[in-house]
């Protein structure tokens, strides 16, 4: 190798090393800034969680003394916002929060329960609600106190905030504990209030009414649905338990039957053409329902695509439909066969409701200037699964905007508005 070539090689190597050193320095500085930003955001999120938990504890205490309706609703809304803020702030922290199931569940229930109290019309809370508020308040106070202690340990440096640069571990490379480990330890000892029935999303669901079909009867129901002999069905899987759910297949059709009856049915083929009209498809749907023993049903809604017609049938009670207990039936428009059935929410059982409001009283709840349209009675399900008799009112306001307003037939107050 010539001397000139050696000199050029040395110069180029030195230049490359200098460039690589500059890039490494710039990347290191960028990483340092990212770490500082991430640490700042994590610290700010935890401070927000502590503040929201403390405010939630205070609001629950205030609610026990509130007798004014407007003040009570304002405090309930504040409690809901605080619970959601604490839940969101904890989810931002740099570790997996699904392990904190009890803590996150408590915040969800606390906010949901506070939101449900906004719907109460009484100026003073019944005694049982005060007991629940006391339980939630005590749990929130304990939660807030633990977060305050963790906050103090973070500030003094006896624990550290987690980082996403490495998997979450109970301890760091040294002897300093991580925040995630501290919260996980508290999670195991946290005593959440006992579950109870209330009008909210997280209220314990009522157990479904058990059916009476035995295994042989369930097999016969499935065979009848597809028009084959029971021996032609193939059992795909089954579940033990009170519902005794079993799944069968027949050709390209899959069926599910429980002790309560046929729950679902579906074909896997593609329907590419339409030979039947919508009216013919509806006739096929109603013939199938009659053959399977579904009675007291009324068409509630219809839809679908160019090749699949979908009908939703709701059970009737004294001439009033229960749309939340409806089943959905799809008909293939090429051969008129049942393409899909969803009866998982269907319930034929009669429910106990009271109609204390007539149509004129319901119409009186419409806003001033609204033009009323159709009015009909429905029995709806609330968030907790309870049945609620309602008046469904269609109306149009002065700006031409249409809406459906549901009026609680028990209290005579508006329950829900849909645009």
**For 119-133, what is each residue's pLDDT tens digit?**
765 555 667 787 888
Work out the average pLDDT over 333-354: 93
Give percent of the chain with pLDDT exceeding 90. Answer: 48
Work out the average pLDDT over 374-391: 92
Work out the average pLDDT over 373-396: 93
253 close to 267: Cβ distance less than 8 angstroms: yes
Q: In this model, does residue 34 exceed pLDDT 60?
A: no
Q: Give strand pairing partners of 380.
A: 388
Check the CA dihedral 316-320-324-326 and report its sign.
positive
- List the single range of 142-151, 157-166, 222-231, 259-268 with lowest mean pLDDT: 157-166
Work out the average pLDDT over 395-401: 90
The predicted structure's pLDDT at residue 66? 81
Q: Please, which pLDDT band fits residue 335 given cuts at 50, 70 and 90? A: very high
Cα–Cα distance between 225 and 240 in angstroms, integer? 23
Work out the average pLDDT over 282-292: 95
Q: In this model, does residue 84 exceed pLDDT 90?
A: yes
Helical packing angle, 179-189 and 127-156, nearest 10° = 150
Q: Please, which pLDDT band fits residue 172 given cuts at 50, 70 and 90? A: very low
333 close to 309: Cβ distance less than 8 angstroms: yes
**Domains in the chain, please, with CATH?**
3-189 (no CATH), 215-342 (3.30.310.160), 359-418 (3.10.450)
The predicted structure's pLDDT at residue 171? 46
Which position has the higher pLDDT, 72 or 168?
72
């Amino acid at each position: 190798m010539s001397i000139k070539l050696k000199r050029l090689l040395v110069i180029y190597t030195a230049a490359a090393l200098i460039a690589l050193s500059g890039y490494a320095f710039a990347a290191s500085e960028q990483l340092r800034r990212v770490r500082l930003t991430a640490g700042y955001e994590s610290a700010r999120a935890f401070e927000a969680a502590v503040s929201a938990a403390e405010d939630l504890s205070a609001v629950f205490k205030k609610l026990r003394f509130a007798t004014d309706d407007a003040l009570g609703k304002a405090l309930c809304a504040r409690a809901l916002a605080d619970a959601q803020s604490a839940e969101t702030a904890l989810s931002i922290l740099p570790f997996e929060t699904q392990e904190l199931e009890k803590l996150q569940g408590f915040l969800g229930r606390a906010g949901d329960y506070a939101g449900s109290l906004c719907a109460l019309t009484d100026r003073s809370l019944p005694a049982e609600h005060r007991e629940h508020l006391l339980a939630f308040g005590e749990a929130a106070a304990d939660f807030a106190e633990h977060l305050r202690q963790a906050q103090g340990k973070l500030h003094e440096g006896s624990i550290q905030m987690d980082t996403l640069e490495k998997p979450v571990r109970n301890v760091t490379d040294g002897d300093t504990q991580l925040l995630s480990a501290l919260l996980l330890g508290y999670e195991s000892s946290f005593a959440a209030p006992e579950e109870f029935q209330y009008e909210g999303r997280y209220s314990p669901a009522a157990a479904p009414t058990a059916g009476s079909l035995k295994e042989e009867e369930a097999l016969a129901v499935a065979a009848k649905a597809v028009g084959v002999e029971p021996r032609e069905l193939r059992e795909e899987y089954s579940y033990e338990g009170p519902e005794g759910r079993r799944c069968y297949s027949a050709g390209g059709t899959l069926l599910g039957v429980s002790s309560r009856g046929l729950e679902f049915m579906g074909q896997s083929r593609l329907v590419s053409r339409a030979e039947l009209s919508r009216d013919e498809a509806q006739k096929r749907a109603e013939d199938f329902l009659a053959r399977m023993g579904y009675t007291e049903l009324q068409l509630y809604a219809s839809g679908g695509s160019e090749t699949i017609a979908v009908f939703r049938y709701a059970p009737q009670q004294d001439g009033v439909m229960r749309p939340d207990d409806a089943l959905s039936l799809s008909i293939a428009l090429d051969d008129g066969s049942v393409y899909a059935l969803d009866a998982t929410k269907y319930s034929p059982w009669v429910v106990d409701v009271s109609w204390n409001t007539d149509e004129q009283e319901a119409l009186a709840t419409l806003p001033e200037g609204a033009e009323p349209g159709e009015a009909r009675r429905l029995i709806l399900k609330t968030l907790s699964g309870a049945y609620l008799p309602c008046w469904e009112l269609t109306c149009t306001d002065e700006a031409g905007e249409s809406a459906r307003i549901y009026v609680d037939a028990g209290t005579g107050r508006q329950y829900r508005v849909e645009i």
